[in-house]
């Protein structure tokens, strides 16, 4: 069993020490960079003040996007199943010929 490595990331000019599973370092750094950009955008808009509130707004925005992505994936699911079913029917029809 591999132990986690310690990764240091910067978010809004603050450094955070995060435990990270082996092989996930690059993904963690990319996620931190994405969060930093979003928090800077929120702070730059001037409508939200305070680090905690900026973090909550960023988290809400990310959560909303994740839920939208899951909903979109669910909508595609039945189409994919239907396509597989139709493909199987076409293959059966071709075999009969």
How confident is the model over 28-80, as pLDDT tens digits?
Answer: 999 999 999 999 999 999 999 999 999 999 999 999 999 998 877 676 666 66
Predicted pLDDT at 78: 61
Q: Which domains occur in the chain, in start order? A: 5-96 (3.30.160.880)
47's tokens: 């409508």
Angle at 26 between CA 21 and CA 30, to 5 degrees: 115
């Amino acid at each position: 069993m591999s132990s986690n490595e310690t990764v240091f990331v910067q978010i809004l000019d603050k450094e955070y020490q995060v435990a990270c599973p082996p092989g996930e370092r690059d993904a963690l750094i990319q996620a931190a960079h994405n969060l930093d950009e979003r928090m800077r955008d929120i702070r730059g808009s001037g409508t939200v003040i305070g680090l905690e509130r900026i973090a909550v707004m960023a988290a809400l925005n990310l959560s909303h996007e994740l839920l939208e992505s899951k909903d979109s994936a669910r909508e595609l699911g039945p189409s994919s199943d239907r396509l597989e079913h139709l493909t199987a029917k076409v293959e059966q029809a071709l075999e009969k010929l």
